[in-house]
Each structure stands twice: as structure tokens, then as C-alpha cells.
Amino acid sequence: MIPRAKLKAQKVDAAGALLDGVALPEGGAWITRARKAARERVLEMGLPVKRDEYWKYTDPRRLTDAGAAPAALHDTQGEAPVFGQIDRVKLVFVDGVFDPQASDAMDLAGVEICTLAQAGESDLHWARDLYGTLEARGQRPVERSLASLNTAQAREGLLIRVTAKAEKPISIIYHRSSAEADAMVHHLVRVEAGAEATILENGPLAARFNQVMEVDIADGATLHHVRAQGRDHERAGVAHLFARLGARSQLKSFTLTANGALIRNEAVVWLDGAEGSAHLAGATVGDGAFHHDDTVYITHGAPRCESRQVFKKVLRHGAVGVFQGKILVDQIAQLTDGYQISQSLLLDEDAQFLAKPELEIYADDVKCSHGSTSGEIDPVQLFYLRARGLSEDTAKLLLVLAFLAEALDEIEDAGLAEDLRDRLEAWLARRA
């Protein structure tokens, strides 16, 4: 057992070494202030290590190493692109760097979009007030210093302000061109009172990525977020979603992950106003050298809010799935309705699912439930399908998709859900 003080010193030293001689990105006054403060947070907290309670199931080394390990580019030849049939505004990043040539015009009624680089030099009040703010708030009670590192160092990202109901989705696409790129991307999203938008993200991003999205959803506003994290196997990455919800506002976030040597998706959500609603869902398919971690922290800080977490993982050939999900209900958050389910389907005996569901409740009149299960394909269902003439592979594919359906059903837009379901089916059929 390493004493706490010694562990902390190691973490802090590692942060110091990583940032030693690394300059902050160029930018205007307000963003530089925010970056400096974030840098201080990193140096003070140190970098995560496997011995941290919060990293018990996931070794962060590949995320904290000085450079990115190379990751082969997945060949998408012949595959239908994700969201390909959806009418959307496309904003393209290559290896984590915005590519205006490949992108559509940032032109969508009721939505203001610019890049982080542009924003740093201008005086966007909403962005100034948001950048790094939710990330900093998210450092209590659990430290997430990789997100602070991102706030300090990210040069790339989009600032999206929604002032009305956007008529089509804003689609962020992450292509890769280099086997070694180490990318940091930081997005800000502000949905003004009563406004509504859908943000799509898809693609593998980079050999290694550190992504932060800070989302501020004002009273009565709605944000749909649907993400598909690409298929490249050897990637490592961490994504943080920090979201603050005002009264009667809604967040629905869904993530599909297929493959990745190490992917950790954290979602930190504050229900700050009464009657807010936050739904987080994820569908994951992992095969072989795959480690996927969903870590969710939802704070009910106001009465009559609802939260829902639905996470499903299909794992085989040694793939590892992790789920850490917490619902914290503050004393004033009476009549909270909290639901959490995490399930894994283990296709063989080598696969592993580690789950840590947690409830912490200080209000007395709440409804909270959580469940976690691990199972295999039901042999009776499998036989029934085969007895009707389905091959074993096809029958298993149907059952796997059926297992994941409950998570995909969390996507409100049927067209988007169908698109992801079709992609998933095609990917799985290829690997059968």
C-alpha cells in the first residue's frame, strides 16, 4: 500500500513533468486566463493513476503518457458513412484540427458557430463565461484532471450557441489522416432558453484524443447529442461531457462505441433547475484488445428532475467493459426520479464487465433505482431462431442487436436511431 501523500506527490510530479516547458496556446486575454487557471488545476491535482479509486478498473497510462502510441487507420472503404443519409451541417476535423475546406458553411438559422481559435481572440461573453467553468466545477467531488489538461492545452474546438430551434443537426465529423496524431478538442455549447438543437459527432478523432464538451442548457431548452466514436482499433481516448441543465430543460446524449484499445467516456451532469431531464445512454461493442469505460456522475440539485442512464455493452475475445455510474441527490432535490441500468452481454468466457453503480441520496422523497447485469446469449432464444432457419451467426447478430436496442431506443429521432442501428448491423455482420 502506497501512502496517500506519496501517491499524490507522484501524480503531481507526473503533471509537472508533462507540462514542463509546454507553452499555453496563443489566444486573447480571457481564454489565456482560463487556460492558466486550468493549468494550475492540473499541476495541483496531478495526473490520474491506476491506483486512484476512480481509475480502479481502467489504467489511464495511455492517456497520460508523453505521446500517443500509433494506431493504424481503419479502412472504411465500402462502408456507408455514419449519418450519411441525414441532412445536416457538416463540420470536419482531421486529426483533431478543424478543416474549413472540408466543412459546410457555418450557416444555420438560430445557431451561431465559430471555432475556438476565432473565439479566443474575440469577446464572446457567453463563451468567456462558460469556457473551463463547468470543467472546473466537475473537479468536485471527484478529480478529472485530464479534462483540466484539455482546458489548458486545447487549441481546437467549436463554439455553438443555439438561440432558436435549429432546423437541422450540427454534425461534427472526425477524420484521421495520421497514425500518430495526439488530439485535444474542446467544444462549448450554449442552448439559450427555449431553444433546441441536435449535435452529432462521429469518427475516430485521432490515434489519441482528449476531448471536452461543456454544455450549458438554459431553462426550457433542449439538446440532443448523438455520438458514434468510429471503429479504429488501436486508438486511446478520453471524452468528458460536462452539462448543466436549467429548469425544465432536457439533455439526451447517446454514444455508440465500436472498438478502441482504451476509450473512457465521462459524463458529468448537474440538474440545477426544477423539472430538468437528463438521459444518458451508450451502446458498446468490443472485440479483442478493447477496453471501454463509461463513467457517469449525475447530480440532482433541484426538485422534480428526472435522470436516466441506459448502458449496454457486448463483449468478446477478452474485451473489457467498465461502467461507473453515480446518482447524487441533494437534500433539496425532492421528488427526484432517477434510473440507471448497465448491462453486458458476454459472448465468451474471456470477456469481462466491471460495474460500479452508486446512489447517494440526501432527500427523503425520491424514486431511484439501479441495476447491473452480466449475461450471455440465451440458448433457448438462439435455438428458437435457428430452428426457424437462421444461421447461428445471423441468430446471434439479431440477439446482439436486440440486446443493444434498449440503448438505441434512447435516441429520440427515429431516423438517427435507424442510421446507427444499420451501421452497427453492418459492422457486426462483417465481423461475425
Interface residues with another protein (CB under 8 A) are 379-381, 383-392, 394-395, 398-399, 401-406
CB of 418 to another protein, least distance (A): 12
Residue 298 contacts residue 271 (beta carbons within 8 Å): yes
CB of 263 to another protein, least distance (A): 24
Residue 161 one-letter amino acid: R
Residue 345 one-letter amino acid: L
Degrees, nearest 5: CA angle 214-143-114: 20
Select 362 or 383, whichever has its Cβ closest to another protein.
383
Distance CA 301, CA 249 (A): 14
Select 122 or 391, whichever has its Cβ closest to another protein.
391
CB of 403 to another protein, least distance (A): 6
Select 174 or 403, whichever has its Cβ closest to another protein.
403
Residue 395 contacts residue 365 (beta carbons within 8 Å): no
**Cβ neighbours, 10 Å, residue 407:** 24
CB of 410 to another protein, least distance (A): 13
CB of 375 to another protein, least distance (A): 13
Select 23 or 387, whichever has its Cβ closest to another protein.
387
CB of 386 to another protein, least distance (A): 4
Distance CA 415, CA 406 (A): 16
Distance CA 47, CA 274 (A): 35
Residue 423 one-letter amino acid: R
Q: Please state, in angstroms and as integers, the Cα–Cα distance from residue 157 to each residue in 91, 280, 418, following that order.
A: 10, 22, 28
Residue 50 contacts residue 11 (beta carbons within 8 Å): no
Select 402 or 426, whichever has its Cβ closest to another protein.
402
DSSP string, 52-83: SGGGTTS-THHHHSSSPPP-PPP--TTPPPTT
DSSP-derived 3-state class of residue 138: coil
Select 76 or 381, whichever has its Cβ closest to another protein.
381
Select 10 or 381, whichever has its Cβ closest to another protein.
381
Residue ranges of E strands in 73-206: 89-94, 97-98, 111-115, 158-162, 170-175, 182-191, 196-202
CB of 71 to another protein, least distance (A): 33
